């Protein structure tokens, strides 16, 4: 994705990432990735720690048969929540990567937006 075409690329869905499926890892290594989650029943996913700061990752439940619980091992907010449960179709969570400590080289996710999900 080049800077002068970013809006066009986003509009064309160039950043959709396939749902890895139940029990698998979601790996986000570049910004503006969208994972369309599909459930066939009660399922889980784990998001790997980001590799740099400034990554934006959107998770949206497009097919709901049962809850999808997504775990972020390093947590997603100041309250210490580490799971996002998608309880229905169109539930949305947007995450943003930040350094774990000032000037550090390790990164963590922070919840930017939650629309319909349950945090745990």
pLDDT tens per residue, range 17-37: 889 999 999 998 778 899 999
Is pTM beyond 0.85? Reply is yes
Reply yes or no on whether the pLDDT at 105 is more than 90. no
CATH number at residue 68: 2.60.120
Cα separation values, 72 from 13, 44, 117, Å: 25, 11, 14
> Does any domain span residue 119?
no
| Alpha carbon distance, N-terminus to C-terminus of the chain | 34
pLDDT in tens, 42-81: 999 999 999 999 999 999 999 999 999 999 999 999 999 9
Full residue range of the structural domain in which residue 12 is found: 3-114
The tally of domains found in the chain comes to 1
SS3 14: coil
Residue 120 lies in a domain: no
Question: Is pLDDT of 13 > 70?
Answer: no
Whether the CB-CB separation of 50 and 72 falls below 8 Å is answered with no
Return the sign of the alpha-carbon dihedral for residues 5, 7, 12, 13: positive
Instruction: Let me know if residue 9 belongs to a domain.
Output: yes
Mean pLDDT of 2-21: 69
């Amino acid at each position: 994705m080049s800077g002068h075409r970013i809006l066009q690329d986003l509009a064309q869905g160039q950043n959709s990432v396939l749902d890895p499926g139940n029990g698998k890892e979601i790996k986000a290594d570049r910004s503006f990735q969208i994972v369309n989650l599909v459930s066939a029943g009660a399922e889980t996913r784990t998001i790997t720690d980001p590799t740099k700061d400034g990554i934006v990752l959107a998770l949206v439940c497009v097919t709901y048969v049962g809850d999808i619980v997504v775990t972020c091992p390093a947590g997603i907010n100041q309250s210490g929540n580490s799971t996002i449960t998608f309880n229905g179709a169109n539930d949305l969570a947007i995450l943003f990567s930040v350094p774990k400590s000032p000037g550090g080289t390790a990164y963590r996710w922070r919840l930017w937006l939650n629309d319909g999900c349950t945090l745990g």
